[in-house]
Amino acid sequence: MKELEERIRQDGTVKPGNVLKVDAFLNHQCDVSLFDQMGAAWAEHFAGKRITKILTIEASGIGIACMAARHFGNVPVVFAKKAQSINLDGDQYTTTVYSFTKQKEFPVIVSKKYLEAGDRVLLIDDFLANGKALRGLIALCEAAGASVEGIGIAVEKGFQGGGDKLREEGYDVDSLAIVESMDPETGRIEFR
């Protein structure tokens, strides 16, 4: 998506250690107009998939997923939670995800009430690098007997390979910007 690539070039920052900071518009400050355009792009790509639910993971995916849901007939958005809280029943699916940004493993849970067999799920997240978070969401869908109809990603770090691996396995991954290379010295970003 041209608008997203341009925005990354304009306001993104490349940091050492394969970190691309897009917190000016994507995952700390949020540009809801841009989110709306992203939702429209996914709706076009995943037209005909009869999505019944959007599943994302807290925290950065939530705003994007909610804005996108408007383009899918206001289907419910469910966000998987990253830690046990007293506000969740024991009746939940659980998996474990390694976070690149937080550099640790954490449990990810979703209530069995909100992810069910028969759900046709669109996974949405802000970033796709090695794909660990998405693998967690896929595992939750598998546990529930829900089908993963598509994966909508804002920014894929193509050079980390997680997206291509998922495509090889048959997942329909629509990343709106795929970074092929980035250089912390010059700040230069190349898109696929």
Radius of gyration of the chain (CA): 16
Query: Residue 82 Cβ, how far from a copy of itself at the closest point, in Å?
Result: 8
Annotated binding residue 21: no
Annotated binding residue 129: yes
103 within 8 A of 83, measured Cβ to Cβ: no
Half-sphere exposure of residue 69, counting CA atoms within 13 Å on the CB side? 18
Annotated binding residue 18: no
Query: Residue 101 Cβ, how far from a copy of itself at the closest point, in Å?
Result: 5
Q: Which C-beta is closer to a copy of itself: that of 60 or that of 175?
A: 60
DSSP for 108-137 reads EEEEGGGS-TT-EEEEEEEEESS-HHHHHH
Annotated binding residue 131: yes
- Residue with token string 């696929």: 192
Mark 47-64 as b/e (b = at least 16 C-beta within 10 Å): eebebbbbbbbeebbbbb
Query: Residue 58 Cβ, how far from a copy of itself at the closest point, in Å?
Result: 4
Q: Which C-beta is closer to a copy of itself: that of 65 or that of 138?
A: 65
Query: Residue 91 Cβ, how far from a copy of itself at the closest point, in Å?
Result: 12
Annotated binding residue 73: no
Q: Which C-beta is closer to a copy of itself: that of 10 or that of 87?
A: 87
Annotated binding residue 69: no
Q: Which C-beta is closer to a copy of itself: that of 7 or that of 81?
A: 81
Tally Cβ neighbours within 10 Å of residue 165.
Answer: 14
Query: Residue 192 Cβ, how far from a copy of itself at the closest point, in Å?
Result: 22
Task: Provide the 3-class DSSP secondary structure of residue 11.
Answer: helix
Mark 122-158 as b/e (b = at least 16 C-beta within 10 Å): bbbbbbbbbbebbbbbbbbbeebebebbbbbbbbbbb
Q: Interface with a copy of itself by CB under 8 A: which residues?
A: 17, 19, 21, 23-24, 27-33, 35-36, 58-59, 62-63, 65-67, 69-70, 74, 76-79, 81-83, 85-88, 101-103, 110-111, 113-114
Q: Which C-beta is closer to a copy of itself: that of 47 or that of 88?
A: 88
Residues comprising the binding site? 20, 27, 129-133, 157
Binding annotation for xanthine: 20, 27, 157
